[in-house]
Structure 1
Amino acid sequence: MGAMTALTDRCFSGVIFDMDGTLIDSTPAVVRSWTRWAEEYEIPEEKFGDFHGMPARSIVAKLMPPELHEESLARVTQLELDDVEGIVALPGAVEALATLPVTAIATSCTRDLAERRIAASGIPAPDVVVTASDVTHGKPDPEPFLLAAERLGIDPRRALVVEDATSGIRAGQAAGASTLAVVTTTQRDALAFADLVVDDLSAVSWHVSDEGVSLSLR
């Protein structure tokens, strides 16, 4: 209760959302693309750990020998670009983006892939979209959220980061932001270290005032 009270009592200068699993449901397309990639490169399923929320480049680096990094990264990137079937907005996502005046997306997708998935889902894209193409280090490094806060013109310590992956929550915390976790793709227990955990964005009401943005539970 303490963490919930602390978060719902706070006022934020802006909200930075992860995209896949937070604002949009791309899981079927992601699974199809990576499964096909793993089959083509004969990577056994047990080699895949908790890579959700990490950039494709980081995943490939953990699974493939150095001499195949660029080739295999290009292949999985193309597979993901070619498959946007069934990508939809998650509950509460469109309302949040339409309601909040200062928002950004910080995603582990590349720029091209982020644009394709945003278009496929129909969510309104905020002015600031930070992708893996914009940063040197991806989540769980804080760089994506620090850059998003910088481009929004806000102090990251007065930002709220909304995520569905443990790597994203860690990145948000490392950036100094408060964190709201949604359990759309990850078990609730694994996200318990976030400031607040909810089922999805439809569980949250947003309140905008001259002081900034606050939230409450529905």
Structure 2
Amino acid sequence: MTEPTPTDAAGRSGPAISDRTFDAVLFDMDGTLVDSTPAVERSWAIWSIEYGMTRSALEAGHGQPASQLVRSLVADHQVDEAMLRIAELELADVHDITILPGAAELLSTMPADRVAIVTSATRALATARIAAAGLTAPAVVVTFDDVSNGKPDPEPFLIGAARLGVDPARCLVVEDAPAGIAAGRAAGCMTLAVTTTSTREELDADLVVDRLTEVSIVRGADGYSLLVG
């Protein structure tokens, strides 16, 4: 069976992106580095039953911080209680969380001071999921607790770049969700999307792959670049 050819949002052949260079990589966490989907679905399934929400309403907010999704779904007087409840459910369920194929290898390719995790999860939840997956976290981890505006706003990635001391235009964002790709683009970053939780058609990235094993990072005279295949 022939493997699908990596493409960008316009359908161009993926390897053309190799002539672009970057100095740092900003990784999303859930769906990009770790597979937390079963735990996430269990937690939100319980929450949705308790608050009378449909699955489609939850899916529309994929990639956004939980608090933003909750605020969009419940009445104002329920927000605080509803956010506490989903936080409680997610922190209690970190079972079945694993590192996604190629994620650890890609993460370890970059020097420690040139890589960050930028997640919509809270600090407590990010710490719990990273530990549950057995992933070694970089020194810079930007969580929802660090920002005023979550994805698709560019603020999370702008903070990640700033903490690494790198121009956002010289950063590669690795994401699985449309909201994350939109945030990366708005921050001026180069974008790589992986189809772990979204379709190719939903991911308006510079390059779209099915697995991170399809790409590697190589160092050159002008910085780092992606090698496809």
- What is the TM-score when the length of structure 1 is the normalising length? 0.96
Residues 100 and 208, structure 1, Cα contact 8 Å, conserved in 2: no
Q: 207-216 vs 29-38, which deviates more? A: 207-216
State the partner residue of 1:82: 92
% identity of equivalent residues: 53
Q: Unpaired runs of 5+ in structure 2?
A: 1-10
Residues 146 and 156, structure 1, Cα contact 8 Å, conserved in 2: yes
- Find the aligned partners of 1:121 and 1:173 in 2 and give their Cα distance: 28
State the partner residue of 2:184: 172
Residues 130 and 148, structure 1, Cα contact 8 Å, conserved in 2: yes
Q: 1:26 to 1:67 in 2, by over 3 A?
A: same
Deviations 1:186-212 (A, max 9, x none): 011111x21000011111111124532
State the partner residue of 1:157: 169
Within 5 Å, which residues of 2 pair with 1:86-105?
A: 86-101=96-111, 102-105=114-117
Per-residue deviation, 1:97: 1.4
Deviations 1:153-183 (A, max 9, x none): 0000010000000000000000000100000
Q: Which amino acid aligns with 2:47?
A: W
Does 1:207 find its partner at 2:213? no
Per-residue deviation, 1:49: 4.1
State the partner residue of 2:228: 217
Residues 178 and 195, structure 1, Cα contact 8 Å, conserved in 2: yes
Residues 97 and 124, structure 1, Cα contact 8 Å, conserved in 2: no
Q: 1:133 to 1:197 in 2, by over 3 A?
A: same
Pairing partner for 1:55 from 65, 90, 105: 65
Q: How many residues align?
A: 217
State the partner residue of 1:142: 154
State the partner residue of 2:201: 189
SS in 2 for 1:171: helix
Q: 1:158 to 1:46 in 2, by over 3 A?
A: closer
- What is the TM-score when the length of structure 2 is the normalising length? 0.91
- Find the aligned partners of 2:13 and 2:116 in 1 and give their Cα distance: 24
